A and B are shown apart, each in its own frame.
Chain A
Amino acid sequence: MRSPTALRLVLAVLALAGCRATEAAEGPQDFGRTDRGRYLTIVGDCAACHTQQGSSQQFAGGRPIETPFGTLLAPNITPDRETGIGAWTDDEFVGALTRGTGRGGAHLYPAMPYPSMTKLSRDDALTIRAYLNSVPPAHHPVVANQLPFPFSIRLGMAAWDALYFTPGAFQPVAGKSEEWNRGAYLVEGPMHCGACHTPKNFLGGDKSASHLQGYALQGWFAPNITNDARSGLGHWTTGEIVAYLKSGHTAGAAASGPMAEEVALSSSKMADADLQAVAVYLKDQPGQDQPAPAAPSDTVMTAGAAIYADECSACHASTGTGVPGLFPALAGASGVQSSDPASLLHVVLRGTRSVATETAPTAPAMPSFAWLLSDDQVAAVATYVRNAWGNAAPAVTGSDVGHARRDLAERTD
């Protein structure tokens, strides 16, 4: 059983260490070095991909990673010499983590977030290695590449890199505060927020003009996390962003789906000062003014209001204000007003359980309504919550819902 006191102590140490993250390192024998690596491993959420769900073998790989092109299996990164990375040189490790160069010249797919991890200094990267060297080696062979032709040809990745990958460690931006720069380093570097939240083009490269403005993946929509007023974090205070990353919950919002996992494994264990820095940086990311959507039809809004009153208001309240910390607010909620309604449709059709954390352990769940509501009815109630109480977002159509229903039905997670 992990002692909370010990954990807090470690985090306090790390919060200090984190400020000096790019400075010269302690010696390799230093205990603090392993601990710094462990912290960066948490910030980088390495376990999310490199540990199979439900497995007790941490970092032994094998978890399927969905990409738009097919499924990859995350490799074993324990120090096992044969099937893990125990035999790798430091250079090979740093190359893989920060430049996507695999052992023996092979090239990694950017499901491995080396385009973000490149912001790490060599020393940061080696602290991660120091930590990974301390975990039990697991003999667990994983064949990472499960992609269909032509994506199975790794050679193509070199060309991809030329187009979409800018290598290089993080450089502080002059004129911005130390906190802002720390936040920038975390968001663009180890936290690799853009991996989910930045839209991708058809080759999976970042659409850099829409940086952090939201992207649909794994049956969800990772929302806009710029300071965009309606669908982004414009109405969030930095305190709310910190609380959300720490506990998975704010008065109005709850993390579920892939973000629930991120909070549980990563950001809930990060130092408060780092989360504050993240919030400061995100709040400084300009949004993109969306044109006002056309108002939905009265028929749809009337039906949506009736469905909402009968099925939703007992938790989310007739005013759309929810119950702080328990049932998310829908009025004014950025997630509800996302350009892409995938997450909203996901929770209505499949239900969801919000994340449980030390400070917010309740993990209330939303029931599935797939059995009750037709595609048109889901569309009506979704359109209603996206446009009631001063909200504004494009209407959802029955055929959008039909597609979502079919896609979700095939999901195995």
Chain B
Amino acid sequence: MSRKLPAKDVVIIGLGWTGSILAQELTDAGLDVVAIERGPWRDTASDFPPSYSPDELRYRLRHELFLRPAQASLTFRNNLDQTALPVRSWGAFMLGNGAGGAGVHWNAETWRFAPTDFAFKSHVTQRYGAKVLPEDMTIQDWGIGYDELEPHYDRFEYLCGTSGTAGNLKGALQNGGNPFEGPRSRPYPTPAQKQPFSHTLFAEAARNLGYKPFPQPSGNLSQAYTNPLGVQMGPCTYCGFCEWFGCGNYSKATPQTTILPVLVRKPNFEARMECEVTRINLDRGGKRATGVTYVDSSGEEWEQPAELVLLCAFQLFNVQLLLLSGIGTPYDPKSGRGQIGRNFSHQTVSTATGFFDKAKFNFNPFVSSGSIGMCIDEFNGDNFDHGPHGFVGGGYMGQVQTNGRPIEMTQQLPPGTPAWGARWKQAVKDNYLSTVYAGTGVHGACASYRTNYLDLDPTWKDRFGRPLLRMTMDLHDNELRMSAFLTDKYAEIIQAMGANQVAKQPRKGPYDITKYQTSHLCGGAIMGTDPGNSALNRYLQSWDVPNLFVQGASAFPQNAGYNPTGTVAALAYWSAKAIREKYLKNPGRPIDA
């Protein structure tokens, strides 16, 4: 039996990047906002200070900052013929928890998607003909263009102080930047980070092969920065304990270091921590959200009424909460009908490890940052002719090695090395300082398919007795061919750096829930222009329940070959603007396209 609380203008589910951005924008508009977050508050000085943050076992292996599967998990299978089984421990992706969400432990690689990514289906169909797309591939256009999002990418980068080198300023190509990027209205707020040895060596080799390498856009800052909200960040110290970890010295862009200090000061904002939203409540007609029900840390259930509900949880849990709340029509892979759960995708990452002569190369791999690196974009999106290759899509690639943490790093040994014993030990000793290993050296796109989708599991339940989400996911030939091609190209560059030996690790099927492949899950509640094949309109507003907006990568119709956070945040600003300027003038109604 839940007790009813006084109504708020806005209730936000989840206080990660999108929840923080929306809260900031809507409190600025004068609305009374409450954010409900199932994880704890997290603060730099007490949760991950420099004195004990550099702890590989605790944060990387034991998943200190992540959601506990006991609190919420999902089930997984590769195809419709299998029985999905619970994900008992995280593997393929990591799920954030608490204030800042995954924004606390991300690498801070702050990319924009390319202009063609937003109309990928139209673009490749036009260039190569419709028959290039496999029958069961369900990619579709986003319903929004790069030019519309550009000001919002810009806002996010200036919020974060992103360090980088522009490649395209208002249409004019710039030396040293990414020549394939969409036009940006102004340079990055701070210059690119300095690069360690192996990263510069990669750039040199790539340049010699005729590519145009550029520094990865980084939310680990090259210098101190004060953002437009007045929040200050420090310079990155290249500690090598960035992604999977919290930043101990305010130098990684996170909600904590960019928005939350300003947000918590506002009298019209409140965050309730360690409270889990169990459903979005609808009125009798099912067309209006009346608020949310949540359970606090002592098991008490509360109802929080609100005029506007913003679903800002992680992609998986956005979809789960929609399904559990009976919003929209669940997707059915057999008929292809239904919107909630369709077009689920991930990221096709691979790498090639280079082993170098230790007498000549000393890379000091521990000197690094989460989003450091030198990259090339020649093989991303449709930047190259796919005609002869038999696949669509691509990815960026680079020496983006983030660390030399020994438990992880010593797993990379020349092929043929035994797994234990004296030869293993000698190989570890000989290779640690002279190995080039970027776990996601090749960061490839992932298309959406008819049978890659999310629904509710019939068997396994969460701690409240609600069905777990069920993920049905496999890698398809298009992605496997793409991965083989991109990994070859990447290995050529690693070889050209002067490696003695290169071990290629292209992505192989079937999709494996135990192998880490970035945390860039997307789709399931996608945006579009047709209520028949999308859950949200182009402003991330639910077609079915107009006073509900669903933020995050769940809106991506398929994944591009870049890290998603920049686009997730840009969409959040875009959606916030639409709420402020369009929705609030006529609340409760669908925004006209």
| Residues of chain A lying within 8 A (CB to CB) of residue B235 | 323
Other-chain contact of A361, B30, B45, B248, B265 (Cβ < 8 Å): B265
Residues of chain B in range 181-240 having any CB-CB distance to chain A below 8 Å: 224, 226, 229-235, 237, 239
Other-chain contact of A326, B30, B49, B232, B268 (Cβ < 8 Å): B232
| Residues of chain A lying within 8 A (CB to CB) of residue B335 | none
Determine whether the beta carbon of A366 is less than 8 Å from that of B45.
yes
Determine whether the beta carbon of B234 is less than 8 Å from that of A361.
no
Determine whether the beta carbon of B224 is less than 8 Å from that of A364.
no
Determine whether the beta carbon of B50 is less than 8 Å from that of A315.
yes
User: Within the complex, what minimum Cβ distance (angstroms) separates A285 from chain B?
Assistant: 31
- Pick the interface stretch among A135-143, A148-156, A351-359: A351-359
Determine whether the beta carbon of B267 is less than 8 Å from that of A1.
yes
Instruction: Give the most central of A327, A361, A372: most B CB within 10 Å.
Output: A361
Other-chain contact of A365, B30, B45, B267 (Cβ < 8 Å): B45
Answer yes or no: B261 CB below 8 A from chain A CBs. yes
Determine whether the beta carbon of A372 is less than 8 Å from that of B230.
no
**Interface mask (A316-333 → B, CB under 8 Å = 1, otherwise 0):** 000000011111000000
Secondary structure at chain B's binding surface: helix, strand, loop or mixed?
loop
| Residues of chain B lying within 8 A (CB to CB) of residue A367 | 44-46, 49-51
Determine whether the beta carbon of B234 is less than 8 Å from that of A323.
yes
> Given known contacts A360-B230, A361-B229, is B50 in contact with A311 (CB within 8 Å)?
yes
In the assembly, what is the distance between CA of A364 and CA of B231, in Å?
10
Answer yes or no: B250 CB below 8 A from chain A CBs. yes
User: Within the complex, what minimum Cβ distance (angstroms) separates B1 from chain A?
Assistant: 30
In the assembly, what is the distance between CA of A372 and CA of B49, in Å?
12
Answer yes or no: B130 CB below 8 A from chain A CBs. no
Determine whether the beta carbon of A315 is less than 8 Å from that of B234.
yes
Answer yes or no: B249 CB below 8 A from chain A CBs. yes
How many A-B contacts are there with CB distance less than 8 Å?
A: 70
Of the four ranges (under 10, 10 to 19, 20 to 34, 35 or more), the interface on chain A belongs to 20 to 34
| Residues of chain B lying within 8 A (CB to CB) of residue A314 | 50, 237, 239, 248-249
Answer yes or no: A69 CB below 8 A from chain B CBs. no
In the assembly, what is the distance between CA of A2 and CA of B30, in Å?
11
| Residues of chain B lying within 8 A (CB to CB) of residue A323 | 224, 232, 234-235
Answer yes or no: A362 CB below 8 A from chain B CBs. yes
| Residues of chain A lying within 8 A (CB to CB) of residue B250 | 315, 326, 362, 364
Determine whether the beta carbon of A326 is less than 8 Å from that of B51.
no
Instruction: Give the most central of A315, A325, A353, A363: most B CB within 10 Å.
Output: A315
Residues of chain B in range 49-94 having any CB-CB distance to chain A below 8 Å: 49-51
Answer yes or no: A369 CB below 8 A from chain B CBs. yes
User: Within the complex, what minimum Cβ distance (angstroms) separates A347 from chain B?
Assistant: 11
Determine whether the beta carbon of B232 is less than 8 Å from that of A364.
yes
Identity of the chain A residue whose Cβ is nearest the Cβ of B48 in the assembled complex: A367
| Residues of chain A lying within 8 A (CB to CB) of residue B248 | 314
User: Within the complex, what minimum Cβ distance (angstroms) separates B368 from chain A?
Assistant: 15
Instruction: Give the most central of B30, B224, B229: most A CB within 10 Å.
Output: B224
Answer yes or no: B488 CB below 8 A from chain A CBs. no
| Residues of chain A lying within 8 A (CB to CB) of residue B50 | 311, 314-315, 367
| Residues of chain A lying within 8 A (CB to CB) of residue B230 | 359-362
| Residues of chain A lying within 8 A (CB to CB) of residue B43 | 365
Determine whether the beta carbon of A361 is less than 8 Å from that of B46.
no
Residues of chain A in range 282-314 having any CB-CB distance to chain B below 8 Å: 311, 314
User: Within the complex, what minimum Cβ distance (angstroms) separates B50 from chain A?
Assistant: 5
Answer yes or no: B584 CB below 8 A from chain A CBs. no
Answer yes or no: B132 CB below 8 A from chain A CBs. no
> Given known contacts A326-B232, A363-B261, is B45 in contact with A351 (CB within 8 Å)?
yes
| Residues of chain B lying within 8 A (CB to CB) of residue A361 | 229-231, 261-262, 265
User: Within the complex, what minimum Cβ distance (angstroms) separates B401 from chain A?
Assistant: 21
Determine whether the beta carbon of A315 is less than 8 Å from that of B249.
yes
In the assembly, what is the distance between CA of A362 and CA of B234, in Å?
11
> Given known contacts A315-B50, A359-B230, A360-B230, is B261 in contact with A1 (CB within 8 Å)?
no
Identity of the chain A residue whose Cβ is nearest the Cβ of B268 in the assembled complex: A1
In the assembly, what is the distance between CA of A324 and CA of B234, in Å?
9
Residues of chain A in range 258-302 having any CB-CB distance to chain B below 8 Å: none
Instruction: Give the most central of A359, A360, A364, A369: most B CB within 10 Å.
Output: A364
**Interface mask (B32-48 → A, CB under 8 Å = 1, otherwise 0):** 00000000000111100
| Residues of chain B lying within 8 A (CB to CB) of residue A1 | 30, 266-268
In the assembly, what is the distance between CA of A323 and CA of B237, in Å?
12
In the assembly, what is the distance between CA of A356 and CA of B262, in Å?
9
In the assembly, what is the distance between CA of A364 and CA of B249, in Å?
9
Determine whether the beta carbon of B267 is less than 8 Å from that of A372.
no
Other-chain contact of B45, A2, A353, A359, A362 (Cβ < 8 Å): A353
| Residues of chain B lying within 8 A (CB to CB) of residue A364 | 44-45, 232, 250
| Residues of chain A lying within 8 A (CB to CB) of residue B229 | 361
| Residues of chain B lying within 8 A (CB to CB) of residue A362 | 230-232, 250, 261
Identity of the chain B residue whose Cβ is nearest the Cβ of A2 in the assembled complex: B267
| Residues of chain A lying within 8 A (CB to CB) of residue B237 | 314
> Given known contacts A314-B50, A315-B50, A362-B261, is B45 in contact with A327 (CB within 8 Å)?
no
| Residues of chain A lying within 8 A (CB to CB) of residue B234 | 315, 323, 326-327
User: Within the complex, what minimum Cβ distance (angstroms) separates B537 from chain A?
Assistant: 31
User: Within the complex, what minimum Cβ distance (angstroms) separates B234 from chain A?
Assistant: 5
In the assembly, what is the distance between CA of A39 and CA of B224, in Å?
36
In the assembly, what is the distance between CA of A97 and CA of B30, in Å?
40
Instruction: Give the most central of A1, A359, A365, A367: most B CB within 10 Å.
Output: A367
In the assembly, what is the distance between CA of A366 and CA of B250, in Å?
11
Other-chain contact of A369, B44, B51, B249, B261 (Cβ < 8 Å): B51
User: Within the complex, what minimum Cβ distance (angstroms) separates A62 from chain B?
Assistant: 23
User: Within the complex, what minimum Cβ distance (angstroms) separates A128 from chain B?
Assistant: 26
In the assembly, what is the distance between CA of A360 and CA of B231, in Å?
7
In the assembly, what is the distance between CA of A314 and CA of B51, in Å?
10
In the assembly, what is the distance between CA of A351 and CA of B51, in Å?
13
User: Within the complex, what minimum Cβ distance (angstroms) separates A377 from chain B?
Assistant: 12
| Residues of chain A lying within 8 A (CB to CB) of residue B239 | 314
In the assembly, what is the distance between CA of A368 and CA of B47, in Å?
11
User: Within the complex, what minimum Cβ distance (angstroms) separates B43 from chain A?
Assistant: 7
| Residues of chain B lying within 8 A (CB to CB) of residue A360 | 230, 232
Determine whether the beta carbon of B224 is less than 8 Å from that of A311.
no
> Given known contacts A326-B234, A351-B45, A360-B230, is B51 in contact with A372 (CB within 8 Å)?
yes
| Residues of chain B lying within 8 A (CB to CB) of residue A351 | 45-46
In the assembly, what is the distance between CA of A227 and CA of B229, in Å?
34
Determine whether the beta carbon of A326 is less than 8 Å from that of B224.
yes
In the assembly, what is the distance between CA of A353 and CA of B256, in Å?
14
Identity of the chain B residue whose Cβ is nearest the Cβ of A366 in the assembled complex: B45
| Residues of chain B lying within 8 A (CB to CB) of residue A365 | 43-46
User: Within the complex, what minimum Cβ distance (angstroms) separates A1 from chain B?
Assistant: 5
| Residues of chain A lying within 8 A (CB to CB) of residue B224 | 323-326
| Residues of chain A lying within 8 A (CB to CB) of residue B44 | 364-365, 367
| Residues of chain B lying within 8 A (CB to CB) of residue A356 | 261, 265
In the assembly, what is the distance between CA of A359 and CA of B229, in Å?
9
| Residues of chain B lying within 8 A (CB to CB) of residue A359 | 230
**Interface mask (A368-382 → B, CB under 8 Å = 1, otherwise 0):** 110010000000000
User: Within the complex, what minimum Cβ distance (angstroms) separates B33 from chain A?
Assistant: 12
User: Within the complex, what minimum Cβ distance (angstroms) separates B26 from chain A?
Assistant: 13
> Given known contacts A314-B248, A362-B261, is B232 in contact with A325 (CB within 8 Å)?
yes
Identity of the chain B residue whose Cβ is nearest the Cβ of A327 in the assembled complex: B234
User: Within the complex, what minimum Cβ distance (angstroms) separates B163 from chain A?
Assistant: 15
Determine whether the beta carbon of B51 is less than 8 Å from that of A311.
yes
Instruction: Give the most central of A327, A359, A362, A369: most B CB within 10 Å.
Output: A362
In the assembly, what is the distance between CA of A315 and CA of B266, in Å?
28
In the assembly, what is the distance between CA of A2 and CA of B267, in Å?
9
Q: A323-B235, A365-B46, A367-B46 are in contact. List 6 more A-B contacts (CB 8 A).
A: A311-B51, A315-B250, A324-B224, A361-B261, A363-B261, A365-B44
- For this complex, 11 residue pairs linking A to B, each with C-beta atoms less than 8 Å apart, are A311-B51, A325-B224, A326-B232, A360-B232, A361-B229, A361-B261, A362-B230, A362-B231, A364-B250, A368-B45, A372-B51
Of all A-B residue pairs in the complex, the 3 with the closest CB atoms, nearest first, are A367-B49, A365-B45, A367-B45
Point out residues on A near B: beta carbons under 8 Å: 1-2, 311, 314-315, 323-327, 351, 353, 356, 359-369, 372
